[in-house]
Amino acid sequence: QQQVKQSPQSLIVQKGGIPIINCAYENTAFDYFPWYQQFPGKGPALLIAIRPDVSEKKEGRFTISFNKSAKQFSLHIMDSQPGDSATYFCAASKSGNQFYFGTGTSLTVIP
Amino acid sequence: EPEVTQTPSHQVTQMGQEVILRCVPISNHLYFYWYRQILGQKVEFLVSFYNNEISEKSEIFDDQFSVERPDGSNFTLKIRSTKLEDSAMYFCASSSKLAGIGELFFGEGSRLTVL
């Protein structure tokens, strides 16, 4: 059973565009929702994370929107740059230990 | 900046052979993890380790897998008898707190190829 579903699988945007990546989860016990950025040949790196007690969190050009009732959360990248080209993973966790990752979204930002 | 280091970066082995993947977590971290990523697929949790014992493990982490912290700094993943389907990128991660509360720091991974 896939605990976290992520879409789209790949995304191509022009520089300055606003790519949006969506995730949905099943388990209402999840209480921590991070997004990870992964460049080729590197490990995932934490980008931004949110807890279910807020509906939005913004850090720089990255924003998470969280809809608890719909069990969905999304990542928005404002004013996207070619350097943002990477694979993005959403994840969910219940009180630590095990993270459940989405299947990843390959983002390409065209100059 | 402190980082998680992993060795080897790539290992090729024959099916049935034992493999040990090594990790040096960030020095003041207390929680350690192994994840794997089959090429092009999602990152999957294998095991978490705290206070010198396994705190949680997934269905993937069966009897052929084991973890150890032999000397207080290294954190190893052993695969006793490798299978073709064990071919993947294995990531070690560490955290100063439970991963749902503190940031999880990943290493660059060890690519395992089983022939």
Q: Which residues on chain B are in Cβ contact (under 8 Å) with A32? A: 100-101
Using a CB-CB cut-off of 8 Å, the residues of chain A touching B56 are 97-98
Asked if B10 has any chain A CB less than 8 Å from its own CB, the reply is no
Give A22's pLDDT tier (boundaries 50, 70, 90): very high
pLDDT of residue B96: 83
Beta pairing class for B110-114 and B10-13: parallel
pLDDT in tens, A53-107: 999 999 999 999 999 999 999 999 999 999 999 999 999 988 666 788 999 999 9
Identify the pLDDT of residue B28. 86
Residues of chain B scoring pLDDT < 50: none
Contact B56 A94 (CB under 8 A): no
Cβ contact A89–B42 (<8 Å): yes
CA A36/CA A16 separation, integer angstroms: 21
Cross-chain CB nearest to B45 (options A45, A99, A103): A99
B5 in contact with A, Cβ within 8 Å:
no
B33-51: pLDDT as tens digits? 999 999 878 889 999 998 8
| Cα of B96 to nearest chain A Cα, Å | 11
pLDDT per position as a tens digit, A38-47: 998 888 998 9
The predicted pLDDT at position B71 comes to 83
Contact call for B42 and A102, based on CB within 8 A: yes
